[in-house]
């Protein structure tokens, strides 16, 4: 469910980043304001982030099928640490994944934290899981609550991936096809997530029940008011709406406009004054003495020089790299002498 940068527009990426920063700021405040300030929370959060990272690598074989599933961890973190600490921990795990493994882009970071962190910690956990265990923890309640929370959380998360991709408009995937593709897959993933989360929480509850109420006590899970959650949601919806309307007005008609950009032929209309300036500048450079827009080019010639121009860019970039390498090696060689 990690989104790549290539599928997002800057507006959507930026809007989601703002939402994520807002939720993070709220969470940080909540943790710092805790009536029972306990610094051990910070190391605990850090080490739990590392745990989720490691646990995501465990292959859980799914009975009846030859395949295996993995853990996402958002729900587990919020059950064990509370929603605010869970959210911050998930955010740091996602940043490390994006930086070191390229799992999800850096611009898409806000969107990813929202889809996997916010949805799990501030929607699935307080609104679905918690009502099940409010009257007391039993293995059955943990199981039902975890499965429902994980499935609904992943459905919401994957649906928000679909929305963010569509609003960005970087692919032609039709809404229906994309939804039909994403939702069933994430139903299966959600089921695995729910069962694994239930198994782990059930085990911890049996082996070390004191850990289960410890996080509740410290994180102040019960003090996250519905009002706050709803407020955050409303802010998010407004943000998404703003992003959508901004986008709708900034690109009136994508296709006609951008085809003008890609064609290598004579119908160049990009750039305006700056472009004209550089075109004139280029005419003056001795290497290309007779440069001009030729509308009557033979198609063969146009396509050849067009493709060659693209290749030339790559070769030039590569050439510069080789030159830099060669130069620095020479410099090192002479230093050794």
Partner 1 sequence: MNRVSNALLNLRQMDDLACKDTPIHRIHPLAKIVVTLAFLVTVVSFGKYDISGLLGLVFFPVILMALSELPGKVMLKRLLVLEPIVVGIGLFSPFFDPREMIFFGLTISAGWATFLSILIKGTLTISAGLLLIATTGIDRVAEGLRMLKIPKILVLQILLTYRYILVLIEELSRMTRAYFLRAPSDHGIRRDAWGSFAGQLLLRTYDRAQRIYISMSLRGFTGEYHCGKNRPMRGGDWVYLLGWCGFFALARWMPLAQLLSLGLKGVMNP
Using rule CB under 8 A, residue 237 touches partner 1:
no
Residues 183-222, interacting with partner 1 (CB under 8 A): 195-196, 198-200, 202-204, 207-208, 211
Bridge partner residues of 61 (DSSP): 68
Q: Does 336 bind partner 1 (CB under 8 A)?
A: no
Confirm or reject binding of residue 247 to partner 1 (CB under 8 A).
no
Contact region for partner 1 (CB under 8 A) — 84-92, 123-131, 230-238, 239-247? 84-92
Binding residue for partner 1 (CB under 8 A) from 1, 18, 22, 95? 95
Applying the rule CB under 8 A, the residues between 263 and 322 that interact with partner 1 are 263-265, 268, 270-271, 274-275, 278-279, 282, 287-294, 297, 299, 301-310, 312-314, 316-318, 320-322
Which CB, 23 or 156, lies closer to partner 1? 23
Using DSSP, state whether 244 is helix, strand or coil: helix
By DSSP bridging, strand 60-61 and strand 68-69 are antiparallel
Q: Which is nearer to partner 1, 231 or 324 (CB)?
A: 324
Nearer to partner 1, 227 or 298 (CB): 298
- Our finding on whether 239 is near partner 1 (CB under 8 A) is no
SS3 assignment, position 137 = coil
Cα separation, 299 vs 139, in Å, equals 72
Q: CB of 226: closest distance to partner 1 in angstroms?
A: 25
Tell me how many degrees the CA angle 271-274-276 measures, rounded to the nearest 5. Answer: 85
Count the residues of the shown chain that bind partner 1, applying the rule CB under 8 A: 124
What span, in angstroms and rounded, lies between the C-alpha atoms of 337 and 333? 7
Residue closer to partner 1, measured from CB, 49 or 126: 49
CA distance to 10, 49, 141, 143, per residue, from 202 (Å): 42, 20, 10, 8
Q: Which position among 63, 136, 252, 333 is part of the footprint of partner 1 (CB under 8 A)?
A: 63
> What tokens were used for 49?
């982030």
Cβ of residue 10: shortest distance to partner 1, in angstroms? 5
For 219, the token pair is 């994180």
Alpha-carbon dihedral angle through residues 230, 235, 236, 242, given to the nearest 10 degrees:
150
Number of helices and strands in the chain (H, E): 13, 2
What minimum distance in Å lies between the beta carbon of 134 and partner 1?
A: 22
Residue 85 in contact with residue 39, Cβ under 8 Å?
no
Interactions with partner 1, residue window 121-160 (CB under 8 A): none
Residue 24 found at the interface with partner 1 (CB under 8 A): yes
């Amino acid at each position: 469910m990690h989104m790549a940068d290539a599928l997002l527009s800057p507006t959507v990426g930026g809007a989601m980043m703002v939402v994520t920063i807002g939720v993070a700021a709220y969470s940080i405040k909540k943790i710092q304001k805790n009536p029972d300030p306990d610094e051990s929370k910070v190391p605990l959060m850090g080490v739990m982030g590392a745990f989720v990272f490691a646990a995501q690598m465990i292959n859980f074989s799914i009975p009846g099928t030859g395949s295996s599933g993995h853990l996402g961890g958002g729900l587990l973190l919020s059950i064990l640490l509370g929603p605010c600490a869970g959210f911050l921990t998930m955010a740091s795990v996602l940043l490390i994944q994006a930086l070191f493994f390229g799992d999800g882009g850096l611009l898409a970071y806000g969107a990813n934290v929202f889809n996997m962190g916010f949805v799990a910690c501030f929607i699935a956990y307080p609104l679905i899981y918690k009502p099940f265990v409010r009257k007391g923890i039993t293995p059955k309640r943990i199981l039902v609550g975890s499965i429902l929370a994980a499935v609904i959380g992943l459905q919401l998360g994957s649906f928000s991936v679909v929305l963010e991709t569509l609003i960005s408009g970087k692919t032609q995937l039709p809404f229906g096809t994309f939804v039909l593709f994403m939702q069933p897959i994430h139903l299966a993933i959600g089921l695995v997530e729910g069962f694994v989360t239930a198994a782990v929480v059930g085990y911890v509850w049996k082996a070390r029940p004191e850990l289960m109420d410890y996080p509740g006590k410290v994180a102040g899970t019960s003090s996250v008011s519905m009002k706050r959650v709803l407020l955050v949601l409303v802010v998010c919806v407004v943000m998404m709406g703003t992003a959508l309307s901004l986008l709708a007005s900034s690109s009136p008609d994508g296709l006609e406009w951008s085809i003008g950009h890609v064609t290598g032929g004579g119908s160049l209309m990009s750039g305006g004054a700056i472009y004209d300036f550089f075109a004139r500048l280029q005419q003056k450079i001795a290497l290309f003495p007779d440069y001009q827009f030729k509308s009557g080019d033979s198609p063969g010639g146009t396509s050849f020089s067009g493709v060659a121009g693209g290749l030339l860019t790559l070769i030039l970039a590569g050439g510069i790299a080789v030159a830099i390498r060669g130069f620095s090696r020479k410099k090192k060689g002479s230093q050794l002498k």
